Amino acid sequence: MEPVRLELENICKEYQQGDTVIQALQNVNLVIEPGEYLSITGQSGSGKSTLMNILGCLDVPTRGKYRIGGQDVQAMSSGELAAFRSRTIGFIFQSFCLLPDLNAMENVELPLLYQKVPRKERRKRAEEALVRVGLESRMHHRPNQMSGGQQQRTAIARAIASQPSVILADEPTGNLDSASGKAVMEILGELNREGKTVVIITHDDKIAKTTRTNVHICNGIVS
Ligand SMILES: Nc1ncnc2c1ncn2[C@@H]1O[C@H](COP(=O)(O)OP(=O)(O)OP(=O)(O)O)[C@@H](O)[C@H]1O
Ligand SMILES: [Mg+2]
């Protein structure tokens, strides 16, 4: 997949909570160039995950425009959007989000199954992705038979098996010890050096310092 530019223009996100409206994002203007290595920092509740969900098309803004590779996301049908998202964006979450009954190989293969990649090709790509993250000896382990670091590397393999041009990671090292966290950051850095756009949400300043660019978010305002 070709690298794409992500453009947020005056993005607002509001949540209605009873009588009050929570302004989770306020007029966010942000351009993420293809191949960028960006960290997003901010306190708990500042709007980081909200921003990430919009970047990943998992949620829609209340107002504003979002373009991916020049395409207006709001203009796509939900089917188009789902297909576009699965080809373009790989997600990594703090809590790994692996399916407990599937082994590492099956977890990595699952999105490829949804994309209707033929069985043989699926196997090949899942295997390559797992080797890539150093899990050649854990392919048939289920999540509860792996350490946290191994589970997160499985999640990275799942994210990269679709060959997306953008990786979005929400606190990818949040549940890991420092050695496993370092291994995860090394893989993300390497994927960026290969040309992928990598966006990492973190509240760890040490991690933010390793990325090329940082944006800070405070009360829904990006600076
Ligand atoms: N579905 C929702 N309904 C109502 N309010 C929400 C919803 N999701 C988030 N919020 C509110 O929006 C604000 C931003 O939340 P968000 O999850 O983006 O914060 P965050 O920066 O990711 O925090 P954390 O570091 O704790 O993960 C918070 O005030 C939160 O309470
Ligand atoms: Mg969050």
Q: Return the domain boundaries, the chain.
A: 6-222
* Residue nearest ligand 1's atom 18 by CA: 47
Query: Which pLDDT value is given to residue 3?
Result: 83
Whole-number pLDDT of residue 83: 87
Greatest CA separation found in the chain?
Answer: 54
Comparing CA positions, the residue from 154, 51, 45 lying closest to residue 106 is: 154
Residue corresponding to tokens 């921003």: 51
Among protein residues, the one with the nearest Cα to ligand 1's atom 11 is: 24
Mutate which of 17, 50, 219 to test ligand 1's pocket (most atoms within 8 Å of Cβ)? 50
Quick one: pLDDT at residue 2? 77
Return the ligand 1 atom nearest residue 52 CA: 18
Sign of CA pseudo-dihedral 18, 65, 92, 127: positive
Instruction: For ligand 1, pick from 11, 12, 46 the residue to mutate: most ligand atoms within 8 Å of CB.
Output: 46
pLDDT value of position 203: 86
The residues near 115 (Cβ < 8 Å, ≥ 6 apart) are: 86, 87, 162
Give every CB contact of residue 103 below 8 A, 6+ residues apart in sequence.
139, 140, 141, 142
Q: How far apart are CA 83 and CA 164, in angstroms?
A: 12
- Residue to probe by mutation, ligand 1, list 15, 16, 207, most atoms within 8 Å of CB: 15
Taking the CA of 26 as reference, the closest ligand is 1
DSSP state of 34: T
Q: What is the pLDDT of residue 152?
A: 94
- The binding-site residues of ligand 1, defined as CB within 6 angstroms of any ligand atom, are 15, 17, 22, 24, 42, 44-50
pLDDT value, residue 1: 64
CB 75, CB 11: distance < 8 Å: no
Full pLDDT tens readout for the chain, 223 residues: 678 999 999 999 999 999 999 999 999 999 999 999 999 999 999 999 999 999 999 999 999 999 999 999 999 999 999 888 988 999 999 999 999 999 999 999 999 998 999 999 999 999 999 999 999 999 999 999 999 999 999 999 999 999 999 999 999 999 999 999 999 999 999 999 999 999 999 988 999 999 999 999 999 999 8
Residue at 118: amino acid letter: P
Is residue 107 within 8 Å of 154, Cβ to Cβ?
yes
The topology (CATH level 3) of 6-222 is Rossmann fold (3.40.50)
